[in-house]
Amino acid sequence: MSNALLKGLDVLRCFTQERRTLSASEIARMTGMPQPTAWRVCKALESQGYLVTEQDGKYRPGLEVLNLGYAALNTMNIAALAAPDLQSLSDSLKGTAGLSTPEGASMLFLQRCEAAGAILNYNMKGGVMVPIGNSASGWAYLSLLSDDQRDAALKQLRASDPTHAQLADRHLAGAIRQFRSSGFVINDEVFYPGLLSIAVPFRSSRRGSYYVVSCTAMKTAFESLPAIEQAAQQLLELGARLADI
């Protein structure tokens, strides 16, 4: 790695949440560079948009630094980014939690986490598909679509999976109402007897793709409305974070 690049990185590392603006002399002191060298490096970074000069003459990070951060995030798999939160949620419920995306008439699970001591031992790992028509993930995805998009998706579903399309026709209106009022969808034993699932849909602002984060556990794990709302809130927060990636 070139010496000039290393010096530029040293300068950028000086900025933190607490140190949002710095003068060239402060940067020189923090990096150990001679002040003329620090000044030249700062000017070079400024010329490329990595630093911006404030009215008081101090520097702050520019938008190009943010673009570097987005580039780093985009090289990471969104499923891997979601995994820690999904594992934490599945552990708290003694169930499963996952990230899925639509694939034809199904929802494809890109990530599926299961509690080590899960009371529910439903054997679903990453790569498994569930029908859109009878799953919380499928209902959540359909609820997020525009009316025209949803009609087209349901038409395709009725042609390719008529059995589960009937379940969607029976339950989807209620799921849409719930989504519009709360931001999440609940599937109460429709997918599988004894199981309750909560799902939150979102669309990636940068990728443009549709995703759903969800959790599933024995219905007894959700002993009260606050328990459901707490799990739903965790999914809503996770979905909001992932939507910006």
Model pLDDT for residues 85-144, shown as the tens digit of each residue: 999 999 888 899 999 999 888 999 999 998 887 765 455 544 578 899 999 999 999 999
Q: Tens digit of pLDDT for each residue in 22-36?
A: 999 999 999 999 999
Q: What are phi and psi of 207, to 5 degrees?
A: -90, -30
pLDDT of 245 above 80: no
pLDDT at 127 (0 to 100): 55
pLDDT band for position 1 (50/70/90)?
very low
The string of pLDDT tens digits covering residues 3-12 is 788 899 899 9
More confident residue, 81 or 142: 142
165-173: long-range contacts (C-beta < 8 A, 24 or more apart)? 165/133, 166/133, 167/133, 167/134, 168/132, 168/133, 168/134, 168/138, 168/139, 168/142, 171/134, 171/139, 172/139, 172/142, 172/143
pLDDT tens, position by position, 137-193: 999 999 999 999 999 999 989 988 899 899 899 999 999 999 999 999 999 999 888
The answer to whether the beta carbons of residues 107 and 130 sit under 8 Å apart is yes
Asked if pLDDT for residue 73 goes beyond 70, the answer is no
CA distance linking residue 219 with residue 127, whole number of Å: 25
Q: Can you give the pLDDT at residue 54?
A: 86
**Would you place residue 216 in the very low, low, confident or very high pLDDT band (cuts 50, 70, 90)?**
very high
Mean pLDDT (whole number) for 226-238 = 93
Structure tokens at 137: 């993930």
Domains in the chain with CATH codes:
3-73 (1.10.10.10), 76-243 (3.30.450.40)
Write down the pLDDT at residue 121. Answer: 44
